[in-house]
Amino acid sequence: MERYAVVTGASNGIGMELARILSARGYALILAARRRDRLEALARELPTPAIPVAADLTDPAQRRRLLEVMDGVNVEVFINNAGFGDCGKFWETSPEKEQRMIDLNVSALHSLTKEVLRRFLARNSGFLLNVASSAGLLPAGPYMATYYATKAYVTSLTLAIHRELKEAGSAVYVGALCPGPVDTGFNAVANVEFALPGISARRCAACAVTQMFRRKVLIVPTLPMKAAIALSRFLPRSALVAISARQQKKKFYRKRAGKP
Ligand SMILES: NC(=O)c1ccc[n+]([C@@H]2O[C@H](COP(=O)([O-])OP(=O)(O)OC[C@H]3O[C@@H](n4cnc5c(N)ncnc54)[C@H](OP(=O)(O)O)[C@@H]3O)[C@@H](O)[C@H]2O)c1
């Protein structure tokens, strides 16, 4: 029976590369995102069968449609990757855009995680990877306050489920991918420019897939980011928030005024 991997947010960036890598490993794919034409183009390119599912995952009815497609096949891997950010002072950013961000990064990921885990637990196997961010390992991110908060939700939820699965003696894997900057469509949507050089989506996805199959619970793709996260444990939370503010402001100004 064909083994399937599901990737949300597969129409661009990290998700598209995750799909390519999993296909090269022999998985058939279910590709979910809103832009149907991009999903169909990717499906044609992949060496294994692929089912494009055009869906806005903030809509519960469209999430249900994705789950129905999954129920017809043997899904072994599910990656909750769709997500986006926004930048600016909290009182100035768009409440509508932030609500969509919470609906996607938190609510959609939360409900898909529960639905998929129940299916995986019923047969005691499966890999579920939630794409968080290095932002989710830090206490807060001024000027990207909502984005950091959504990603903190993802790491917290994932770590808790990982522990529950361990205590239940389950063979089901759950983990969180926590990359630093990756060159994708993220910046254009979040209206920022990275203050640090980004890695390629290909490199990020390759590391994610390797570490997921090694069952690593928190996956941080690069050494400098791993070192920064390790170092952060020795700093007071207030200092970390101040450092995050400085970094986010740089992104913000680079985009708006070309300032360093
Ligand atoms: N790039 C980075 O530096 C970075 C760092 C850490 C974590 N991340 C995380 O990595 C994940 C992937 O982001 P990326 O960097 O690859 O950005 P990206 O290139 O902008 O890709 C985002 C993907 O999410 C999909 N998406 C957006 N809204 C959606 C919705 N309502 N329903 C379904 N799909 C939706 C987009 O497809 P459609 O527009 O076709 O719907 C696209 O395929 C996100 O969770 C992001 O927070 C990124």
Give residue-wise pLDDT tens across range 98-147: 999 999 999 999 999 999 999 999 999 999 999 999 999 999 999 999 99
- 234 CA to centre of ligand 1 in angstroms: 31
Q: Which atom of ligand 1 is nearest to the CA of 15?
A: 16
Ligand 1 pocket residues where CB is under 6 Å: 8-15, 33-35, 56-58, 81-85, 104, 131, 133, 179, 181-182, 184-186, 189, 198
Residue nearest atom 36 in ligand 1 by C-alpha distance: 9
What are the angstrom distances between the C-alpha of 195 and each of 133, 198, 252, 260?
A: 16, 9, 9, 8
Coil/strand/helix, residue 120: helix
Place 1 in a pLDDT band, splitting at 50, 70 and 90.
confident
CB 198 within 8 A of CB 181: yes
Distance 185 CA to ligand 1 centre (A): 7
Burial of 202 (0-12, 13-18, 19+ CB in 10 A): middle
Mean pLDDT of the chain: 95
CA of 169 to the centre of ligand 1 (A): 33
Across 43-160, where does the E strand assignment appear? 50-54, 74-80, 127-131
User: Considering its fold, how many domains does the chain have in total?
Assistant: 1
Can you give the pLDDT at residue 194?
75
pLDDT tens column, 143-183 = 999 999 999 999 999 999 999 999 999 999 999 999 999 99
Which protein residue has the closest C-alpha to ligand 1 atom 45?
Answer: 83
Strands (E), 103-195: 127-131, 173-177, 182-183
For the ranges 102-111, 222-231, 241-250, the maximum mean pLDDT occurs at 102-111
Q: Which among 154, 129, 133 has a CA at the least distance from the CA of 213?
A: 129
| Residue 173 φ then ψ, to 5° | -100, 140
Q: How far apart are the first and last CA of the chain?
A: 54
pLDDT surpasses 50 at 245: yes
Range of the domain at 148: 3-257
| Ligand 1 atom closest to Cα of residue 187 | 1
Residue 83 has pLDDT above 90, yes or no: yes
Confidence category of residue 259, pLDDT binned at 50, 70, 90: very low
Q: Tell me, what CATH number does 91's domain have?
A: 3.40.50.720
How many angstroms separate the alpha carbon of residue 151 from the centre of ligand 1?
13
Count Cβ atoms below 10 Å from residue 180 Cβ, excluding itself.
21
Structure tokens at 254: 């680079």
The single residue of 4, 27, 147, 153 carrying the catalytic annotation is 147
56: DSSP letter: -
Does 238 score more than 80 pLDDT? yes
Q: Is 147 a catalytic residue?
A: yes
